[in-house]
Amino acid sequence: MEMKTRIEEKFTTLFGTGGEMYASAGRINLIGEHTDYNGGYVFPGAIDCGIMAKIKVNGTKKVKAFSLDYDEYVEFGLEEEDKPLQQWARYIFGVCRETIKRGGKVEGFDCVFAGDVPLGAGLSSSAALESTFAFAINEIFDNKIDKFELAKIGQSTEHNYCGVKCGIMDQFASIFGKSGSLIRLNCKTLEYKYYPFDPRGYQVVLIDSCVKHELASSAYNKRRESCENAAAAIRKNHPEVEFLSDAKRVWLEEVRDQIPEEDFLRAEYVIGEVQRVLDVCDALERGDYETVGEMMYQTHFGLSKLYEVSCPELDFLNKLARKCDVTGSRVMGGGFGGCTINLVKDDLYYNFVSAVEEQFPEKFGHPVKIYDVVISDGARKIS
């Protein structure tokens, strides 16, 4: 049964008539990886899987929520001490609290919700959940909080109620996402611009390697440190360099013998990546998806050989994509596991996917998961 129908049926059973339907989306990031904390660009878009919720004000001070996917009912109040035990409910509770902290009105409501973003696969199911409720609550209680602040409500929910110190990209994409458009977001200024993304004749395919290597968090801190080192060295000659992404390639060359080789390579990747986002934007304005794909391969090379956040599974998937003449392929997200994102011509799709499904398990002993996605609308009301 369709998700919307399942939600409606359960809602009627639990809460009776009335209510409005809201939804938001997971996201991909086409290019611009490890650029956010360097003040550079990211280039995400909302996708055609997300969270859907039916919501109705209930005239009490309590939220009554049913998760169809967990088959679980939770009730909670709206004061700080009412934090629910269930992780999924904490996202909703956090959104309520963060709205209240910003002066918004939130009172009790009934809701039933479900989703089809794979959990923990790097498509940000959590941002989809936060954005659905941040958007819905804003409309239902007529709070007139702007979209930027709605994204920040989701981000602060992760920080303050779910223990995840994330950036703004996921919630931004989920709130601002638009069908057929990617969003270039400047992580330093939060300026953003939509670019057309409508790759007719191509598929966007995510391949989840289903591995997560332990290195991730300690390596992440080390990468940040290298970037800050390199930026500090460049800043001595060029005081305008606040973040590494402000630096030109030649400025990095000037300090090559003043910083460890490792820091140089990390910085080389970041400066290259910021430029690649701009190049991809230009290519999209021309509808040139072959150049977009080539940039994705360059990003993968950089993440693997300069930034060193890939792993054998991801490098294998990338190589296999090349072998199958896939237009573009790269690791998506922080690295050391998770997904590759691939831009695949329609007539090569079957060949590529079957090669992956056959060869990956042969080499690594477990299957991958494959998701086809289409760039779609983010947070919205459904009539």
Q: Considering beta carbons, is residue 72 or 191 the nearer one to ligand ADP? A: 72
Instruction: Tell me the closest approach of the beta carbon of residue 298 to ligand ADP, in angstroms.
Output: 25
117 vs 135: CA distance, rounded Å: 18
Residue 167's φ and ψ, nearest 5 degrees, are -80, -165
Tell me: does residue 115 bind ligand ADP (CB under 6 A).
yes
Tokens matching residue 297? 């391969």
Please say whether the beta carbons of 53 and 139 come within 8 A: no
Tell me: does residue 48 bind ligand ADP (CB under 6 A).
no
Q: Considering beta carbons, is residue 15 or 243 the nearer one to ligand ADP? A: 15
Q: Considering beta carbons, is residue 204 or 244 the nearer one to ligand ADP? A: 204
Three-point CA angle 318, 324, 327, nearest 5°: 70
Q: Which residue is nearest to ligand ADP (CB)?
A: 115
Tokens matching residue 231? 């930026």
Closest to 7 (Cα-Cα) out of 115, 119, 134: 115
Chain positions 71 to 130 lying near Mg ion, rule: CB under 5 A, are 124, 126
Catalytic residue of the set 36, 110, 170, 263: 170
Please say whether the beta carbons of 347 and 74 come within 8 A: no
270 vs 229: CA distance, rounded Å: 13
Kindly determine how many residues on this chain lie close enough to bind ligand ADP according to the rule CB under 6 A: 18
Tell me: does residue 138 bind Mg ion (CB under 5 A).
no
Instruction: Tell me the closest approach of the beta carbon of residue 159 to Mg ion, in angstroms.
Output: 12
Closest to 41 (Cα-Cα) out of 157, 233, 172, 135: 172
Q: What is the largest CA-CA distance in the chain?
A: 71
Tell me: does residue 70 bind ligand ADP (CB under 6 A).
yes
The β-bridge relationship of strands 328-331 and 202-212 is unpaired
Report the residue from 16, 18, 120, 312 that binds ligand ADP according to the rule CB under 6 A: 120
Instruction: Tell me the closest approach of the beta carbon of residue 72 to ligand ADP, in angstroms.
Output: 9
Report the residue from 126, 171, 342, 376 that binds ligand ADP according to the rule CB under 6 A: 126
Instruction: Tell me the closest approach of the beta carbon of residue 121 to ligand ADP, in angstroms.
Output: 6
Which option in ligand ADP, Mg ion, none does residue 120 bind, with CB closer than 5 to 8 A by kind? ligand ADP
Q: Considering beta carbons, is residue 53 or 280 the nearer one to ligand ADP? A: 53
Please say whether the beta carbons of 178 and 378 come within 8 A: yes
Q: Alpha carbon 126 to chain centroid distance? A: 9
Chain positions 79 to 108 lying near ligand ADP, rule: CB under 6 A, are 87-88, 91
Chain positions 127 to 156 lying near ligand ADP, rule: CB under 6 A, are 129
Instruction: Tell me the closest approach of the beta carbon of residue 110 to ligand ADP, in angstroms.
Output: 16
Tell me: does residue 369 bind ligand ADP (CB under 6 A).
no
Q: Which stretch binds ligand ADP (CB under 6 A): 3-11, 124-132, 187-195, 291-299?
A: 124-132
Tell me: does residue 298 bind ligand ADP (CB under 6 A).
no
Please say whether the beta carbons of 296 and 310 come within 8 A: no
120 vs 338: CA distance, rounded Å: 9
Query: Which class for 277: exposed (0-12), middle (13-18), buried (19 or more C-beta within 10 A)?
Result: buried
Instruction: Tell me the closest approach of the beta carbon of residue 61 to ligand ADP, in angstroms.
Output: 23
Tell me: does residue 122 bind ligand ADP (CB under 6 A).
yes
Instruction: Tell me the closest approach of the beta carbon of residue 74 to Mg ion, in angstroms.
Output: 19
Q: Which residue is nearest to Mg ion (CB)?
A: 126
Closest to 84 (Cα-Cα) out of 59, 110, 62, 55: 62
In the sheet that holds 109-115, the strands lie side by side as 72-76, 63-67, 109-115, 44-57, 20-29, 380-382
270 vs 184: CA distance, rounded Å: 16
| Residue 279 is a catalytic residue | no
Residues that bind Mg ion (CB under 5 A): 124, 126
| Residue positions annotated with a catalytic role | 170
Residues that bind ligand ADP (CB under 6 A): 51, 67, 69-70, 87-88, 91, 114-115, 117, 119-120, 122-126, 129
